[in-house]
A and B are shown apart, each in its own frame.
Chain A
Amino acid sequence: MIPDWRGGTRGQWALRAVIVAGTLAALYSRGLATSRPPVWLGVAALLLAAGWALFPESVVGAGVLLLVGWAWAASDPVGLPAAAIVAAAAMLAAHLAALILGYGPPRLPVAAGAVRLWAVRGLLLLVPAVLVWLVARGVEELPDSHTAWVLGLAVAVSVTVVAVAVIQALMPQAEDA
């Protein structure tokens, strides 16, 4: 059954706009460091992003994000530009906008409290991206880059696990308080 998305609220349309804008920003931020992506790729990303905005819980969303990642991987190598952080932020914004839209069907008014909460969480989630970018920039000059990447990935996973464990340990205390 196709959901009736035509009667969306103003807040929902704003979130849909964030999805489309985030996708295109993530794709074209690559152009800040190297050449722009081809037109056909931009059109494809735009169409898929529009589909994702209308059906935020569909698999199109994963396809769009992977398309953006493929566009970054397939372009000319230019090292690790700061534009990668912009792309990460844009992708995260699109993902979170779809997440909030997924709280309910079309015509569901968007709760301002939920938007504020996810805005704060989004900023916190960007911290790992910045940290990874700094670490990657630090190990960029090392001679054995492959080993460095494996080590980096291990460190990233370790940091994630430790962070999750810390959060899990803190949650009951926060609830008790």
Chain B
Amino acid sequence: MRRWAVTPALSRSLLVGALLLGAAVLLGEPALVVMAAPLVVLTAIALVMRPSSSPVLRGELDHVSLYEGQGTRSRLSLSNDEGAEQVTRISAQAPYVALHPASGRVSGLLRDGVPVLEISPRRWGRRTLGEEKVALTSRWAGYRWGPVLEHGAEMAVLPASAPFDSSAEAPQPLGLVGANRSRRVGDGTEFAGIRHFQAGDRLRRINWRVSLRTGDLHVVTARGEEDSGVLLVVDALADLGRSGGVGGGASSLDVTMRAASALAEHFSRHGDRVALRIIGAAWQFVGFGSGPRHLRVLLGRLASVRPARMPDDAAERLRFPVTAGTVVVVLSPMMSEAIATTTASLHRRGLPVLAVDTLPEDARTLAVDGADGFVADLAWRLRRTERDQLLTALAADGCPVVTWRGPGTLDDVLHRLARRAQLPQVRTR
């Protein structure tokens, strides 16, 4: 209602004041005049204070992008609000959005400033923040404007990075420049050996101690330092378990997203090129890139993920444009045969592939209402058995599978992959 309307308080004071005055005159009861006098005066003042303005509202958030668990302030700017005295803001309650005050309702006098609401998204994903209803009240509370709906802003809430660090090197770095020690001799700092001087060698590489002892010029050689390509494959086919947001329980997709965010951040900081492939209803792909801007693109794409089933024939048409040496990290609860098949096929191409199991220990499928609890439990146990078989088959195929546990999750596996990369391999194409 974008116009000023009479408040119930004004109607009440007008009705009671008039009737008491009339009764006082008719009955000759002076006490009724005394009782009606304050209400009559209040009514008269409120009527006189009727506003004629047409207020304009504009809601805005202090931040345009947030990580889950971070907070921002929702502010409301008013213009053309002459005659308004009081403002009331009622924020919409949305899942995984915390408000302060918790009720999402604030009110105050405009002379003290428009009250501010604090908002904090508690889970990654696309969230609408700042949607609210606003009402204004005129001086002496005679008229009310609104409540009107003020639409919020849709924000891609980025997944918070799970605690992660790794000291392992990429198994097969084949890039140009980077921080990973290469098998090839190059211009790095890691000692590789000492050999005779050749034309073109840099003078600063001469090892004078060996040269003086042998009588011939010798130079120190070093390993090259190269970047590596990392492909993150994210399984968004299902969300198993119950999510409690940041600080609460985590579903399989929560673990997957936070782990993917941590890995993307870790490898980007180390100068590696990171790509992202999301397996779900929409086949989203972010190409290889590095740097903070590329990291934002990756996180933004992760934030837009929604769990959805894949079309039946889609698994056969999955393509991964990766070159030799690219480290493939598959993040999945491994409940889908299509994901296991994809992982195995990537591994058979000779790529260093490692599967990260993101199924929480306490995860269970949410049984539909009315379902028999015994049957639901039996079905879940069957799915777990099938999952164990898939993991066993992957391990038998030589593809390492690790459970996500934060820092150091990938170290041991990457070390082993690096050693394996130095052995001769047979690749199937």
Contact B107 A111 (CB under 8 A): yes
Contact A168 B107 (CB under 8 A): no
The reply to whether the CB of A108 lies closer than 8 angstroms to some CB of chain B is yes
Binds A, one of B41-49, B204-212, B293-301: B41-49
The reply to whether the CB of B395 lies closer than 8 angstroms to some CB of chain A is no
Contact B86 A103 (CB under 8 A): yes
Contact B103 A69 (CB under 8 A): no
The reply to whether the CB of A38 lies closer than 8 angstroms to some CB of chain B is no
Contact A160 B28 (CB under 8 A): no
B181 to chain A, nearest CB (A): 61
Supposing A69-B23, A80-B31, A149-B25 touch, asked if A88 and B38 sit within 8 A by C-beta, the answer is yes
Contact B88 A168 (CB under 8 A): no
Supposing A88-B34, A167-B45 touch, asked if A103 and B28 sit within 8 A by C-beta, the answer is no
The reply to whether the CB of A31 lies closer than 8 angstroms to some CB of chain B is no
**CB < 8 Å neighbour of A87 from B31, B40, B101, B108:** B31
A156 to chain B, nearest CB (A): 7
Hey, which chain B residues are within 8 Å of A136, CB to CB? 30, 33-34
B112 to chain A, nearest CB (A): 5
Contact A145 B38 (CB under 8 A): no
Bound Cα distance A132, B27 (Å): 17
The reply to whether the CB of B366 lies closer than 8 angstroms to some CB of chain A is no
Binds A, one of B14-22, B186-194, B257-265, B398-406: B14-22
Contact-residue bracket for chain B: 35 or more
Hey, which chain B residues are within 8 Å of A113, CB to CB? 108-109, 111-112
Bound Cα distance A68, B137 (Å): 28
Bound Cα distance A68, B19 (Å): 12
A127 to chain B, nearest CB (A): 9
**CB < 8 Å neighbour of A128 from B8, B37, B135:** B37
Contact A125 B25 (CB under 8 A): no
The reply to whether the CB of A14 lies closer than 8 angstroms to some CB of chain B is no
Bound Cα distance A175, B112 (Å): 15
The reply to whether the CB of A66 lies closer than 8 angstroms to some CB of chain B is yes
Contact B12 A95 (CB under 8 A): yes
The reply to whether the CB of B140 lies closer than 8 angstroms to some CB of chain A is yes
The reply to whether the CB of A150 lies closer than 8 angstroms to some CB of chain B is yes
* Majority secondary structure of chain B interface residues (helix, strand, loop or mixed): helix
Hey, which chain B residues are within 8 Å of A80, CB to CB? 30-31, 34
Count, chain A residues at interface, CB 8 A:
65
Across chains A and B, the number of contacting residue pairs, with CB separation under 8 Å, is 168
Contact A146 B140 (CB under 8 A): no
Hey, which chain B residues are within 8 Å of A160, CB to CB? 40-41, 44
Bound Cα distance A150, B29 (Å): 12
Hey, which chain A residues are within 8 Å of B34, CB to CB? 80, 84-85, 87-88, 129, 132-133, 136
The reply to whether the CB of B286 lies closer than 8 angstroms to some CB of chain A is no
Contact B23 A111 (CB under 8 A): no
Residues 154-177 of A, flagged 1 when their CB comes within 8 A of B and 0 if not, give: 001000110110011001000000
Residues 67-104 of B, flagged 1 when their CB comes within 8 A of A and 0 if not, give: 00000000000000000001010100000000001010
B17 to chain A, nearest CB (A): 9
**CB < 8 Å neighbour of A153 from B16, B25, B105:** B25
Supposing A73-B27, A84-B31, A136-B30 touch, asked if A108 and B109 sit within 8 A by C-beta, the answer is no
Contact A73 B32 (CB under 8 A): yes
B42 to chain A, nearest CB (A): 6
Hey, which chain A residues are within 8 Å of B31, CB to CB? 72-73, 80-81, 84, 87
Hey, which chain B residues are within 8 Å of A85, CB to CB? 34
Hey, which chain B residues are within 8 Å of A22, CB to CB? none
The reply to whether the CB of B253 lies closer than 8 angstroms to some CB of chain A is no
Nearest chain A residue, comparing its CB with the CB of B144: A102
Bound Cα distance A129, B336 (Å): 80
The reply to whether the CB of B141 lies closer than 8 angstroms to some CB of chain A is yes
The reply to whether the CB of B39 lies closer than 8 angstroms to some CB of chain A is yes
Contact B108 A62 (CB under 8 A): no
Supposing A73-B29, A153-B25, A168-B48 touch, asked if A108 and B35 sit within 8 A by C-beta, the answer is no
- Interface pairs (7), CB distance under 8 Å: A80-B34, A91-B39, A92-B39, A126-B38, A132-B34, A136-B34, A167-B48
* Chain A interface residues (CB < 8 Å from chain B): 7, 9, 26, 57-59, 61-62, 65-66, 68-70, 72-73, 77, 79-81, 84-85, 87-88, 91-92, 95, 98-99, 102-105, 107-111, 113-114, 117, 121-122, 125-126, 128-129, 131-133, 136, 140, 145-146, 149-150, 152-153, 156, 160-161, 163-164, 167-168, 171
Please name 4 further chain A to chain B contacts, defined as beta carbons within 8 Å, in addition to the given A102-B141, A164-B45, sorted by A numbering: A65-B16, A69-B19, A80-B31, A128-B40
